[in-house]
Chains A and B, each alone.
Chain A
Amino acid sequence: MREAAIVGYVQGPQRRYAGAANESELIMPVVGEVMRQTGVTMQDIDFTCSGSCDYLQGAAFAFVEGLSALATVPPIKESHVEMDAAWALYEALLKIWTGDADVCLVYGFGKSSPGELRSVLTLQLDPYYHVPLWPDSVSMAALQARALLDSGAASERDLAEVVARSRVNALANPNAQLKGRPTVEQLLAEPAFVSPLRRHDCAPITDGASAMIVASGDAARRLCARPAWIRGIDHRMETGILGARDLTRSPSARLAAERAGVARGRVDLVELHAPFSHQEIILRRELGLANEVPVNLSGGALAANAMMVAGFDRIGYVAGCILEGKADRGVAHATSGHCLQQNLVAVLEA
């Protein structure tokens, strides 16, 4: 398989409400900036892939409008996944591995503010048996959290500790939406939101966009002094029927981590896409991470969670740390669906 590396990544502002900005107005600044930083022009790009979800902003073909943010004359090689842009990166890697592309632009955008996110996500369920019951996304996550607490694998204090650490870490992240220095005791004193979850256990609703340049071996070395090499990447799915799963486990995350080779070396940092605090605890276990490995130095999804971007941002953050020389080997994870149904794991190295 050909080598591939991330040579540039830009995250846009993460906000509860991006105002009037449309798709291309969200995308243009981050695409423009990542191209400026890497010195790549549209002519250099062999393949462009994006991730987004029409239902977030309630308009079919929202991603088509995204094309307006790019120079498309001459026409570009392009594709789109109706998923988190972490999978758009995967599609770009396929193009590099087959030899079809050397330099790829990948971006994701999510504007959840126009709609009712918790209900929109209900529509990811079986339309005949589950949607008519209208369980919302937070309630389903709460079922998982309850199962985890009841299994004895974690306590409410553990959840609060995840949140407290996210808030503190986010202080160093200029793009983070939520940050601060709450104590675990303060967090535990908060009332339940959807029991056992408190509001702070749930990721915020975020509008945002991010972009990345990924390149094959020689192109990456040419574009960047210290590329973030993608040494392993894999993604796995499991059933969408919550009742058929042991919600305290994530076998798909475990399998993806094994196949990506997480355990093959020391891990300097990990970014886990855990939109709910308890999911970080599940994922730590499935990825087999040592206790001392720093998790979510960016603040993670609890600090900002632009749908269809937040998983991609985990990869971007780890890549950024390697590009800047702050780390030599990192692990990034992205998830899709309810209760960690689908998971992608990438291992990045200097």
Chain B
Amino acid sequence: MANRAAVVGVGQTKHKSRHKEVSIAGLVRQAAERALADAGCGWQDIDAVVLGKAPDMFEGVVMPELYLTDALGGNGKPVLRVHTAGSVGGSTAVVAANYVQSGAFRRVLTVTFEKQSESNATWALSPRMPFVPHVNAGAGGFFAPYMRLYMQKYHAPEHIGCLVAVKDRLNACRNPYAHLQIPNIDLAMVQQSPMLWEPLHFLESCPSSDGACALVIADEQIAERSPNPPAWIVATSTRADGVMYAGKDNIHPKSLIACAKDVYSKAGITDPRRQIDVAELYVPFSWYEPMYLETLGICGEGEGWKLTEAGATAMTGDIPINPSGGVLSSNPIGASGMLRFGEAALQVRGMAGEHQVDGARLALGHAFGGAHSYYAMWVVSADKP
């Protein structure tokens, strides 16, 4: 029923703590122009623009699509702004894909960004409302208890999280756009970095980055005559559930289980570990890798940490996770989800450079937001569905 759509352009900025040399408009434009160049098209060829980012309070600009219209070439075009918390980069890509899949538009530009250095994100997330029961323990303070619970429940050794950090950070050294690059990182360095929220060390947590990501998504006809290979969008899915309710499973969230089930069924995936060549998962804290492996059905419950320990998720493993270095290495929040989706596309296009997984044909992109509330996923393929 839906028309075919493919990613024909991927662009991103270098991710770093402070992009002082460009404005917000300059930042999004950099990513967008790189995506257009990859797609071999110009601004005039774009039919619609979809912008995504996390809270406006991170930059202090309300509904920034209004200010960014010129930078995004949006004059006279449809422009839509998505916000689904941390998963926004993923859900924005899904909306952009829908623009093309619906048949309403032929070539769409989608851009996501965060320029946290321009405001005070900690302030934005902790408004200190007088009446809210408040234990100000930061984002890690909310998530760390569930990681401890996971470790305890499945007898996962403490160094597993550190292994994830070493792997992702070494992968990041192959990615010129990655924010954190620590070539001499090893297990001891992660273990000796300061403890933040037990069990999370400093080097097991994501940085806060300025950066942007852009994709050009096109219909079948355009995709087939694009200068670079297309990444065909085989399936997309989003799921959400309430922030907190009785019986919510914060280790294997129901909303992620449902999202994975849906995207696999649409993509004809019955054995994800065997069929998926590479996955970019939204892992802001190290322990999410083993937890996701289980929730995504790549392995059984309690087996995730064993895959990580055995190196199955390394570049050379049988199910490489986050060859780009992932969110642990670059975290421009609004763009972090789209980076996962875009990196998955680069992999199946054979355009991931030094962090290319050999022979990748089918890739999974995943994004997560809120308190285990929002999930977005897509499966992209080198082969036309």
- A residues whose Cβ falls under 8 Å from a Cβ of B: 1-2, 53-55, 58-61, 63-65, 67-68, 70, 72-83, 87, 90-91, 94-95, 97-100, 120-121, 123-128, 234-241, 251-252, 255, 336-338, 341-342
Contacts and interface: CB of A to CB of B under 8 A. Distances in A.
Given A72-B241, A237-B69, A237-B75, 7 more contacts: A64-B85, A73-B241, A78-B84, A81-B80, A235-B79, A235-B80, A240-B67
B133 interface: no
Given A59-B127, A64-B373, A98 B1 contact: yes
Given A60-B55, A238-B75, A72 B124 contact: no
B66 A127 contact: no
Give 6 nearest A-B pairs by CB, closest first. Answer: A99-B1, A97-B102, A75-B255, A60-B55, A72-B241, A78-B240
B334 to A, nearest CB: 11
Contacts of B81: 81-83, 87
Contacts of B384: none
Given A78-B238, A124-B66, A127-B61, A90 B82 contact: no
A75 B69 contact: no
Nearest to B101: A98
B91 A75 contact: no
Nearest to A82: B83
Given A64-B373, A78-B239, A99-B1, A237 B77 contact: yes
A238 B240 contact: no
A347 to B, nearest CB: 15
Contact of A55 (B57, B84, B243): B57
Contacts of B125: 60
A74 to B, nearest CB: 6
A2 B101 CA distance: 12
Interface in B63-96: 63, 65-70, 74-85, 91, 94-95
A127 B70 contact: no
Contacts of A235: 78-80
Contacts, number: 182
Contacts of B99: 94
Contacts of A336: 63, 66
A80 B82 contact: yes
A252 B68 CA distance: 16
Given A75-B239, A127-B59, A240-B70, A97 B254 contact: no
A94 B68 CA distance: 23
B127 A64 contact: no
B62 A91 contact: no
B75 A128 contact: no
A238 B104 contact: no
B242 interface: yes
B63 A53 contact: yes
A124 B240 contact: no
B369 to A, nearest CB: 9
Which of A2, A63, A97, A121 has the largest count of B CB atoms less than 10 A from its CB?
A97
A26 B159 CA distance: 47
B66 A341 contact: yes
A1 B95 contact: no
Contacts of B56: 53-55, 60, 82, 123
